[in-house]
Amino acid sequence: RRIIAEVRERGDALKGAIVVINQAMPPYDHERHETHYGTTVQIRSSGASEAARLGARAVLIRSVTARSLASPHTGALRYADDAPKIPAAALAVEDAERLTRMAARGPVEVELFLGAKTLPDAESGNAIGELRGRELPDEVVVVGCHIDSWDVGQGAQDDGAGCVMAMEAARMLKELRLIPRRTVRVVLFTNEENGLRGGLAYHDAHKQERHAGAIESDAGCGAPWGFGITGPDEQVVADIIKLAPLFAPLGAGDLHPGGGGADISPLMKDGVLGVGVHPDTSRYFDVHHTRADTVEKIDPAHIRRNAAAMALMAYILAER
């Protein structure tokens, strides 16, 4: 908000200019397990329209990461209806700092060559698999992730690993012959990154079904840490949190209020209990939305432990 206010305060000074927004993302807070992504990313979402209202020609935004190896981080922006749609691009942290230093010494000229373009929509779809419940098969616990990723990398952390963990959680339950009372439904949502249409389409198609809970894995595959839980019934949330010792052997014993996910948010608005998978994200934003988000950085041991914790959570929700 401070940066947005500063952009607005510049007023006519931005007219005809290429605006560089050099907002740093604070370092990861290990004590609170806080990435600061949610607050820092706001300027990437709205910066282009804010600058355009003041007559800017284009906007360059410092990548949303606390650590950088000269890699720009892409991501979504939202054009407001009441502002011109000006070009926007992400800068690597190092380049944003360099431009800021140069501008402090005098006028700087920047020439942009952007290859991005908007293509017509294409048909896509969610991928769904189920482990049918033994007693209440018409009641569902969703275990979700998103199958799409930004085009610059492989999307291994965001969110390929989350999808592997979701599928593996169901496979573990089946292998152990732990068929729960309710159906466990694995949903690989499409189009999370730039529209959430997979999550919205799932909600439209299945909102008449009774959902006992929804889990989303969309935070990479660092070492397991815990789960964030949100629901309309505080006692139910408290009862689940009391089961934290069951998750401790997997390193996922930090169960706390407050969690969910983008794809399951339409269900949560209907009052469905939402659970966010919270692994260690201290290095997640080093590669998030970059060319460096590739599969060799995935630790298979973390995949297995996170999947086991998700299987346990899904089983608890499906049994309660």
Residue 141 belongs to domain with CATH number? 3.40.630.10
- 287 and 141 in a single domain? The answer is yes
Q: Is 59 helix (H, G, I), strand (E, B) or coil?
A: strand
Please give the Cα distance from 38 to 276 (Å, whole number). 15
Residues near 116 by beta carbon (within 8 Å), at least 6 away in sequence? none
Judgement on whether residues 150 and 299 belong to the same structural domain of the protein:
yes
pLDDT for residue 245: 99
Domain that holds residue 208: 127-319
Q: Please give the chain's pLDDT, 320 residues, in tens.
A: 677 788 888 888 899 999 999 999 999 999 889 999 999 999 999 999 999 999 999 999 999 999 999 999 999 999 999 999 999 999 999 999 999 999 999 999 999 999 888 899 999 999 999 999 999 999 999 999 999 999 999 999 999 999 999 999 999 999 999 999 999 999 999 999 999 999 999 999 999 999 999 999 999 999 999 999 999 999 999 999 999 999 999 999 999 999 999 999 999 999 999 999 999 999 999 999 999 999 999 999 999 999 999 999 999 999 99
Question: Which pLDDT value is given to residue 263?
Answer: 99
pTM (two decimals): 0.94
The answer on 131 and 101 residing in a single domain is no
Asked if residue 302 and residue 214 are part of one domain, the reply reads yes
Same-domain pairing of 179 and 97: no
Q: Which residues contact 130 (CB under 8 A, 6 or more apart)?
A: 183, 184, 185, 186
**Distant-in-sequence, close-in-space partners of 41: CB < 8 Å, separation ≥ 6:** 64, 75
Given 192, 193, 216, 319, which residue is catalytic? 192
Does 109 participate in catalysis according to the annotation?
Answer: no
46 with 160, same domain: the answer is no
Specify the pLDDT at position 1.
66
Which amino acid, residue 137? P
Quick check: is 146 in a domain? yes
Contact 268, 230 (CB under 8 A): yes
Which CATH number characterizes residue 100's domain?
Answer: 3.50.30.30
Give the count of domains, the chain: 2
Do both 209 and 68 map to the same domain?
no
